[in-house]
Amino acid sequence: EMSTKRDRKTYSSVTRMKVFDCIVHHVPTSDIPDLIQQFANRSGEILDYVPHRNTIELMACELGAIAELQTAEMLIANENVTLGFDATTQEGTHVNSIHFTTRDECLSGAVDELPGGTAKDYANHITQTVDNLAETMPIFINWTRKDVSRQERV
């Protein structure tokens, strides 16, 4: 029997990476538990636990939180950052990406569906993204939002 959890509570990094691989390849979260079980069966493994769909969806949210933290850290660590955005409409859905670029890297701040493609829609999306990143940093490093705002002015 192969253990998929550490301390009987937390899924192992191997199990989490299998989930993340499925998410990155657009596997519906409802199908991931069955796929993990099928892959184990095909390789002769017996799993003690397979994550349920709601656990998998929480893992997907973790990826977003990690990406937000990385972007917020990059913004605070660099004096010169360029904000850019790019939008497209696919199958009637308008999607906008906000990204931040330094001399050495480019990180995404958000990729969201917008109601339309007006200047107001883009301005609101940019503002919401920056506000969200300003709220993300304090959670991880014990700052208040006031501390983050002060950093932005320095």
Q: How confident is the model at residue 6 (pLDDT cuts 50, 70, 90)?
A: low
Residue 7 reports pLDDT greater than 70: no
Residue 149 reports pLDDT greater than 60: no
pLDDT in tens, 11-48: 887 888 899 889 888 899 999 999 999 999 999 988 88
Q: Rounded to whole angstroms, how far apart are CA atoms 29 and 63?
A: 14
pLDDT in tens, 89-142: 888 889 999 999 999 999 999 999 998 889 999 999 999 999 888 887 776 666
| E-only strand ranges, 41-139 | 82-90, 93-101, 106-114
For residue 123, which amino acid is it?
A
Q: What is the pLDDT of residue 5?
A: 67
Directed axis angle between helix 13-24 and helix 53-77, to 10°?
80
92 Ramachandran zone, left/alpha/beta (phi>0; psi -120 to 50): left
| Highest mean pLDDT: which range of 1-10, 31-40, 55-64 | 31-40
Give the other-Cβ count within 10 Å of 148's Cβ. 19
Tally the C-alpha atoms within 13 A of residue 88's C-alpha that lie toward its C-beta: 4
Q: How confident is the model at residue 154 (pLDDT cuts 50, 70, 90)?
A: very low
Q: What is the pTM of this model?
A: 0.62
According to DSSP, the residues that pair with 83 across neighbouring strands are 100
